[in-house]
Amino acid sequence: MIRNDIRALTAYEVPDASGLIKLDAMENPYPLPDSLRRTLAERLATADIHRYPDAAMEGLREKIAARHGVSPAQILLGNGSDEIIQMLMIAADQGACAAPSPSFVMYELVAKWLRRPFTAIPLDEHFDLDADRFLQVVGREKASLAFLACPNNPTGNLWAAGDVERIAADFGGLLVIDEAYAPFADRDHLHLVCEHVLVLRTFSKIGWAGLRLGYAVGHASLISELNKVRLPYNINTLSQIAADVLLDHFEVFDEQAASIRKERERMQRALGAFPDIQTYPSQTNFVTIRVPDAGQAFRHLLERRILIKRLGGHAMLENCLRITIGTPEQNDQVLEALKELYA
Ligand SMILES: Cc1ncc(COP(=O)(O)O)c(C=O)c1O
């Protein structure tokens, strides 16, 4: 009844975080301000939920397009950027999908679901990307689709602009530059968008994880092809209304992202001062560290009611932990807990 390769998979696991300081999923730690919550509630009360949602979402796409100075025809909306990753894997030419490794797990997982061969191209020991090697392997494997997470999850770093640009210029297939962490990074790649290069964004990390809204910015002809594999009404009415309201108050989220960036710098410095902790550069809203015993550190933080992510399943991530940047108070609690182990 069910394919054997699907049976062999394990479902994506989300740990129960009730009662814990939740620093495992790169969410924004700041809830919506009360005044904005009230405005949102008033607008949500007008929702016609007995009708299907607006299928074309012209207004919402216009608002998002205006933020980037592109046309609405260049915007594709997804139920999270995860859904757009799936659309890309469905629609792209047959052939392998390639991505550096380690990187975002959904690229490989969705490729497996759709029986698309997956080529993982290892990063070096600093989690850096070798563009020559990348281009050589995608050429050899005849990859038709490639993902570059810029900055990368779970390593946190942003690969050199020249390397990303060279891959964009020389890769013969469809290149997806996944900018889930753009609000926390020093640069983006929207200027690279063309017939074969697409940029992926999400609102999840800047404070709207619960809405499930991501988008692609691409050439209008590419977006119109991808739109053919978008399930009808993929963005529900409540998310559409909420996004419309929140986009009019984006300064709130820009400010929060700025304080998260500041806290990230403070955390990097504080974590770097522990002789037993190796830190990696981050341009995201999380820091990745290597400790002598990740299991012990994970359990110790959990005892202090702090949930972080223990990175596993990859030889290069042995004893690595990924800590989402929280509020200053939450970050202090992380540092206190780590001091108990490593001071
Ligand atoms: C690199 C990267 N891309 C995409 C996503 C998925 O985001 P969304 O919540 O929009 O599905 C994530 C989430 O962690 C991510 O790290």
Q: Which of 246, 257, 196, 255 is nearest to 221 (CA)?
A: 196
pLDDT value of residue 28: 98
Q: Which of 169, 172, 158 is nearest to 192 (CA)?
A: 169
Mean of pLDDT over the chain: 97
pLDDT value of residue 3: 97
Which residue's CA is the nearest one to ligand 1's atom 7? 81
pTM: 0.98
The domain 50-248 is placed in CATH, from the list 3.40.50.2300, 3.40.50.720, 3.40.640.10, 3.40.190.150, at 3.40.640.10
Q: Across residues 108-130, what is the average pLDDT?
A: 97
Is the pLDDT at 343 greater than 90, yes or no? no
Tell which atom from ligand 1 comes closest to the C-alpha of 104.
1
322 in Cβ contact with 154 (< 8 Å): yes
pLDDT value of residue 156: 98
Handedness of CA 92, 96, 101, 102 (dihedral sign): positive
Going by pLDDT thresholds of 50, 70 and 90, the confidence category of residue 12 is confident
Residues of the chain with CATH 3.90.1150.10: 4-30+251-342
Q: What is the DSSP letter of 186?
A: S
Residue 309 three-state SS:
strand
Is the pLDDT at 13 greater than 90, yes or no? no
Residues of the chain with CATH 3.40.640.10: 50-248
The pLDDT tens digits for 56-79 are: 999 999 999 999 999 999 999 999
CATH class of 4-30+251-342: alpha beta
Q: Which residues are near ligand 1 (CB < 6 Å)?
A: 26, 80-82, 104, 149, 153, 178, 180, 202, 204, 214
Going by pLDDT thresholds of 50, 70 and 90, the confidence category of residue 313 is confident
Which residue's CA is the nearest one to ligand 1's atom 12? 180
| C-alpha of 113 from chain center | 20
Q: What spacing in Å lies between the alpha carbon of 85 and ligand 1's midpoint?
A: 9
Using the structure block, give the residue that is written with the tokens 């001071």. 343
Mutate to test the pocket of ligand 1, among 84, 107, 153, 285 (most ligand atoms within 8 A of CB): 153
